[in-house]
A and B are shown apart, each in its own frame.
Chain A
Amino acid sequence: MSPVQVRRAAIVGGNRIPFARANGPYARASNQDMLTAALDGLVGRFGLAGERLGEVAAGAVLKHSRDFNLTREAVLGSALAPETPAYDVQQACGTGLETTIHVANKIALGQIECGVSGGVDTVSDAPIELNDDLRRILLRANAARSPLERIATLARVRPGHVIPSTPRNAEPRTGLSMGEHQDLSTRRWEITRREQDEYAAASHHKLAAAYEAGFFDDLMTPYLGLTRDQNLRPDTSVDKLAALPPVFGEREGATMTAGNSTPLSDGASTVLLASESWAQERSLPVLAYFVDAETAAVDFVHGDEGLLAAPLYAVPRLLQRNGLGLGDFDFYEIHEAFASQVLMTLRAWEDPVFCKERLGLDSPLGTIDRDRLNVNGSSLAAGHPFAATGGRIVATLAKLLHDKGSGRGLISICAAGGQGVTAILEAA
């Protein structure tokens, strides 16, 4: 066996469509429409029309069964060479970052020279399924060996079966929504309403400032009339957010509102990764390198850890493997599923008891300098089309590192199912 050479995977750039609120301007767009739009924007930006890439990896969390080959179908409809392979990944809100890890690893191992990662989600065009009992009856009738058996099976259809089942934002094993789960964690970590609202307002203001500065000009393709994220409220304030009613958990002491939680959104994002030589041959920039990644999961079902706490465990392992401390980063990108998820993450890593008992550390992991955290805003302001968030964050961080010219950045994304995907990028 020949020894495997590992090389650095470079992030060349990214492209996404602005994120829309559910049932907004993208209400009529399918996942395939949006992913194709984001992909073709990337192809246009980097002159890849007609090129055969190593692969395209993307996915969607809410997906129609007819979209089993969603990413490949998007590639076939894009300006890329039809000889570009593609596949779908689904790891809830971690999808976009997980696809980036896949593509970066293949580049690092020399299996491919370049590839695109990404993700897309629509809540507006979500699949609605047949009532599950009806579905079973139809399948059984289809498999029936005689007409009589078929009739007998179909006779079991009841009027109530016409009511379809819609996808729910709930954990299958607990029946609790993500917000309800996070409400439990918010109480456990005693995150106040005021802290959450202050954090959310800052996210909007930072994203607005980034737009004003033109930061997203080369990261975005307008789509269906949107030129910036629809959810962004540049003029929101702590006072305005304080007026919103809590929406998750038991009313007594509830703190999480529509303002300090991410809205249901539609959108798509893509990231172009390559070997350094591939980028060089095409005179394309290298914004940053993909250094390492760690994915963790927690037992939120029978254990006592929170649904969105997995990144708390992933990051310490990632840091240890890379010989880094929590303070050794110039930028931190922590996905804002909820303001309280970010605040809980910061608090846990500062907490000596949590760090000792849960992480097995002798001292707290450390404190994150707030001035380096989500400096251009994040999901609270931009919106959060589940699988599209990872690509948004990777491209944003890569550009931040490129603009700074040095340093490294940490990405942390919590996901349904008690999972967390984290990664380190380094300036080129």
Chain B
Amino acid sequence: MSGAVSIVDAPPSAATLYIRALATVVAGRKGGDALPQRRVAATIERVDPDRVAEYARVCGFRLRDELPVTFPHVLAFPLALSLMTADDFPFPLLGLVHAANRIEQKRWLRLDDSWTFTAWAENLQPHRRGRTFDIVQEAAVDGEVLWLERSTYLARGGSGGTGGEARTSGEQRAPEGERYGVGARLRIPADIGRRYAAVSGDRNPIHLSALSARPFGFKRAIAHGMWTKARCLAALEGRLPGAFDVEVSFRKPLFIPGKARLVTRKIPGGWDLALTTPDGTRPHLLGTIHERGA
């Protein structure tokens, strides 16, 4: 990867960045054809255990010295946000659809690790409904990259329209007469979007309330994709080795409050994950875990 790395002492405040993001929507600015080449980096000396505890509680993880595999995403989130809200970023933040997320982990990251996070954007691709790009974030401990995340976002429309429709996020019905399988019943509370926003810094209005979601084309608030991923992984407590890759795609939006079915299936060397409608026919999230060295 080429491009300058700008080091920031501490990740910028997510709240400030959201205000900036709202401003770009209002101004209708943005466009352009290229992703910025630069990288942003920040060092985190020590994680606040209270923050981990709060995150674990909201997502269903146990509080332990090994961090939830999805937790670094929220630690690094302000970096991604600073890239996506900067003037040289071609798409407006609000209105982007989180389409997929892949995390590779070499070992459990621990509470007492000190990390350097680096984030950049790459892989701009045409898509039938717009364009997609990836935000890549990596966490290095003592110079070794132990955790790497690739989030794929869809920017809908030609050159950055902000309108959105709930159904555009990829419904996929299971083949006729087939379901994704039996599984656990999840009751997702009405405030999960606000609670996850508080622990993640991701205060996208589509997650907070019906009122704030409506201008973006959703009739009710929808759960954060990364919360659904975290919740699925929390269900595999005790079953995962330290080194694994987990790749998910986000499908039909999950309206909150709501119910869902969580299906986990052991496959050779890993797991298949599905978070579906309560009847098991339509997916909110589909994913696969590959254990490394398996």
Cα-based distance from A30 to B54 in the complex (angstroms) = 12
B49 near A225 with CB under 8 A, answer yes
Cα-based distance from A40 to B62 in the complex (angstroms) = 12
Query: Which of A25, A36, A82 meets B49, CB within 8 Å?
Result: A25
Q: Which positions 75-122 of chain B face chain A at CB distance < 8 Å? A: 111-112
A32 near B62 with CB under 8 A, answer yes
Task: Given A28-B49, A28-B53, A225-B112, decide whether A79 and B64 contact each other with a Cβ distance below 8 A.
Answer: no
Q: How would residues 29 to 63 of chain B score, 1 for a CB under 8 Å from any chain A CB and 0 otherwise?
A: 00000000000000000000110011000000011
Taking CB atoms, residues of chain A closer than 8 Å to B63 are 28-30, 33, 224
B62 near A224 with CB under 8 A, answer no
**Residue B65 at the chain A interface, CB threshold 8 Å:** yes
Which of A40, A80, A82, A224 has the most chain B CB within a 10 Å cutoff? A224
A37 near B112 with CB under 8 A, answer no
B158 CB to nearest chain A CB (Å): 48
Chain B: CB-nearest residue to A30: B63
Taking CB atoms, residues of chain B closer than 8 Å to A199 are none
B240 CB to nearest chain A CB (Å): 10
Question: Number of A-B pairs whose CB atoms are under 8 Å?
Answer: 39
Q: Which positions 30-48 of chain A face chain B at CB distance < 8 Å? A: 30, 32-33, 36-37, 40
Chain A: CB-nearest residue to B112: A225
Taking CB atoms, residues of chain A closer than 8 Å to B53 are 28-29
**Residue B268 at the chain A interface, CB threshold 8 Å:** no
Cα-based distance from A134 to B177 in the complex (angstroms) = 49
Task: Given A36-B64, A224-B65, A224-B111, decide whether A77 and B50 contact each other with a Cβ distance below 8 A.
Answer: no
Taking CB atoms, residues of chain B closer than 8 Å to A40 are 64, 238
Interface size on A, residues (CB 8 A): 19
Which of B62, B64, B65, B237 has the most chain A CB within a 10 Å cutoff? B62
B238 near A224 with CB under 8 A, answer no
Taking CB atoms, residues of chain A closer than 8 Å to B64 are 33, 36-37, 40, 223
Cα-based distance from A40 to B238 in the complex (angstroms) = 9
Q: Which positions 111-161 of chain A face chain B at CB distance < 8 Å? A: none
Taking CB atoms, residues of chain B closer than 8 Å to A78 are 238
Taking CB atoms, residues of chain A closer than 8 Å to B237 are 76-77
Chain A: CB-nearest residue to B53: A28
A221 CB to nearest chain B CB (Å): 8
Taking CB atoms, residues of chain B closer than 8 Å to A110 are none
B151 CB to nearest chain A CB (Å): 28
B62 near A33 with CB under 8 A, answer yes
**Residue A366 at the chain B interface, CB threshold 8 Å:** no
Taking CB atoms, residues of chain B closer than 8 Å to A80 are 238
B22 CB to nearest chain A CB (Å): 33
Taking CB atoms, residues of chain B closer than 8 Å to A222 are 65
Task: Given A77-B237, A224-B111, A225-B112, decide whether A37 and B65 contact each other with a Cβ distance below 8 A.
Answer: yes
B62 near A223 with CB under 8 A, answer no
Chain A: CB-nearest residue to B110: A222
A223 near B65 with CB under 8 A, answer yes
A76 near B65 with CB under 8 A, answer no
Cα-based distance from A28 to B50 in the complex (angstroms) = 7
Cα-based distance from A222 to B283 in the complex (angstroms) = 40
A76 near B238 with CB under 8 A, answer yes
Cα-based distance from A78 to B62 in the complex (angstroms) = 10
Cα-based distance from A76 to B49 in the complex (angstroms) = 24
B111 near A225 with CB under 8 A, answer yes
Cα-based distance from A261 to B64 in the complex (angstroms) = 30
Q: Which positions 15-71 of chain A face chain B at CB distance < 8 Å? A: 25, 28-30, 32-33, 36-37, 40
Taking CB atoms, residues of chain A closer than 8 Å to B49 are 25, 28, 224-225
Cα-based distance from A78 to B49 in the complex (angstroms) = 21
Cα-based distance from A225 to B47 in the complex (angstroms) = 11
Query: Which of A29, A79, A225 meets B238, CB within 8 Å?
Result: A79
B62 near A36 with CB under 8 A, answer yes
Taking CB atoms, residues of chain B closer than 8 Å to A82 are 238
Cα-based distance from A32 to B62 in the complex (angstroms) = 8
A117 CB to nearest chain B CB (Å): 20
A83 CB to nearest chain B CB (Å): 13
Which of B65, B111, B238 has the most chain A CB within a 10 Å cutoff? B238
Cα-based distance from A357 to B53 in the complex (angstroms) = 55
A60 CB to nearest chain B CB (Å): 16
A30 CB to nearest chain B CB (Å): 7
Taking CB atoms, residues of chain A closer than 8 Å to B62 are 32-33, 36, 77
A398 CB to nearest chain B CB (Å): 26
Which of A25, A28, A76, A80 has the most chain B CB within a 10 Å cutoff? A28
Cα-based distance from A29 to B238 in the complex (angstroms) = 17
Q: How would residues 193 to 220 of chain A score, 1 for a CB under 8 Å from any chain B CB and 0 otherwise?
A: 0000000000000000000000000000
Taking CB atoms, residues of chain B closer than 8 Å to A76 are 237-238
Q: How would residues 227 to 243 of chain B score, 1 for a CB under 8 Å from any chain A CB and 0 otherwise?
A: 00000000001100000
Cα-based distance from A74 to B253 in the complex (angstroms) = 32
Cα-based distance from A37 to B237 in the complex (angstroms) = 12
B283 CB to nearest chain A CB (Å): 25
Cα-based distance from A232 to B54 in the complex (angstroms) = 28
B227 CB to nearest chain A CB (Å): 20
Taking CB atoms, residues of chain B closer than 8 Å to A77 are 62, 237-238
B282 CB to nearest chain A CB (Å): 29
Taking CB atoms, residues of chain B closer than 8 Å to A33 are 62-64
Q: How would residues 176 to 213 of chain B score, 1 for a CB under 8 Å from any chain A CB and 0 otherwise?
A: 00000000000000000000000000000000000000
B46 CB to nearest chain A CB (Å): 9
Taking CB atoms, residues of chain B closer than 8 Å to A36 are 62, 64, 238
B241 CB to nearest chain A CB (Å): 9
Taking CB atoms, residues of chain A closer than 8 Å to B111 are 224-225
Interface residues in chain B, defined as those with a beta carbon under 8 Å from any beta carbon in chain A: 49-50, 53-54, 62-65, 111-112, 237-238
Task: Give 4 new A-B contacts, CB below 8 A, not counting A80-B238, A224-B111.
Answer: A36-B62, A223-B65, A225-B49, A225-B111
Across chains A and B, which 9 residue pairs bring their CB atoms closest together, nearest first? A28-B53, A77-B237, A33-B63, A77-B238, A78-B238, A29-B63, A33-B62, A37-B64, A224-B49
A-B contact pairs, 24 of them (CB 8 A): A25-B49, A28-B54, A29-B53, A29-B63, A30-B63, A33-B63, A36-B62, A36-B64, A36-B238, A37-B64, A40-B64, A40-B238, A76-B238, A77-B62, A77-B238, A78-B238, A82-B238, A222-B65, A224-B49, A224-B63, A224-B111, A225-B49, A225-B111, A225-B112
